[in-house]
Amino acid sequence: MPSTRDIRRRIKSVKNTAQITKAMQMVAASKMRRAQQAALAGRPYATLLNEVLGNVVFHAGDFTHPLMEAREVKRQAVILISTDKGLCGALNSNLMREASKLAPDTLFITAGRKAAQFVARTKRRLAAEFLYKDTPLFAEARSISKFARDLFLSGAADRVDLLYTRFVSTLVQRPEARPFLPVGELGPVIAGFDQPPAPSQLAQAATEFLFEPDAGQVLGALLPHSLNFQIFQVLLEAKASEQSARMVAMKSATDNAHQLIKDLTLEYNKLRQGNITNELLEISTAALALE
């Protein structure tokens, strides 16, 4: 049975832990608001970009592009986007569980240390490792997108997918897989946003579009930018998911620490009261023996 000294030490240790988790909760809450605002702010542009791509592709006729070339999938690559740090609940575990379902010969392009550690731990094939900041930069997304495009165009991969954590709400973040390359008939689908308009809907539109110099060249210039922005938006979604999950996890840890302190305090008081009672009994017994 632990002594009162042991319980006091444990209470002090749990209080110190609670202070740390509370501080981490406040920091994560501050970062979470900024990350969520950035992710939500990019969605209207992503929706409009898909709309423009749908219109351009529909009016481009028989236009073809190397990034739109669909071929038999012999080698698959996946851009796996995770966090750099832990202490964010089951966020990374759920993501890695989905990644572990992929074929053993899948080629991974990782963004985030946890993704790179998963690939090394499971002895998967790693094509490249990227890092991104707490506030993702478009240049970071452009680097990841360019490497994936080069991988696809060189024939090292016949298909490239995205695997990331989609931000739904502060309490809900879901791992999600999205096609990245080759680009479909209506352009890339920006993760978590509206689909491009269907050709039948575009055909019914009364508006006639004129492209200068022509629709093919416009689409050829627009495709790389849309892929870059798709990666950028996914990085924003992943960062918003990370900060939300960390804030919730640290709040839960703080609440559990406070509950544990209450339980330990109750146990300490019971043990202390028991010791006092035993001492009183010993004093009373000694007094009676002297009479």
| Catalytic sites, residue numbers | 88
Non-local CB neighbours of 151 within 8 Å, separated by 6+ positions:
77, 107, 109, 127, 157, 160
Angle between helical axes of 91-99 and 113-121 (0-180°, round to 10): 50
CA atoms within 13 A on the CB side of 73: 13
d(CA 169, CA 245): 10
What are the distances in angstroms from CA 179 to CA 17, 114, 120, 221? Answer: 42, 22, 24, 20
Angle at 93 between CA 138 and CA 142, to 5 degrees: 15
Q: What are the residues facing 163 on neighbouring strands?
A: 80, 177
Helix, strand, or coil here: 134? coil
d(CA 192, CA 248): 22
Both structure tokens of 176: 């999600």
d(CA 80, CA 120): 13
d(CA 111, CA 126): 11
Q: Which residue type is seen at 204?
A: Q
Give the helix, strand, coil percentages of the chain, each rounded to 5: 60, 10, 30
Q: Are 130 and 143 in contact (CB under 8 A)?
A: yes
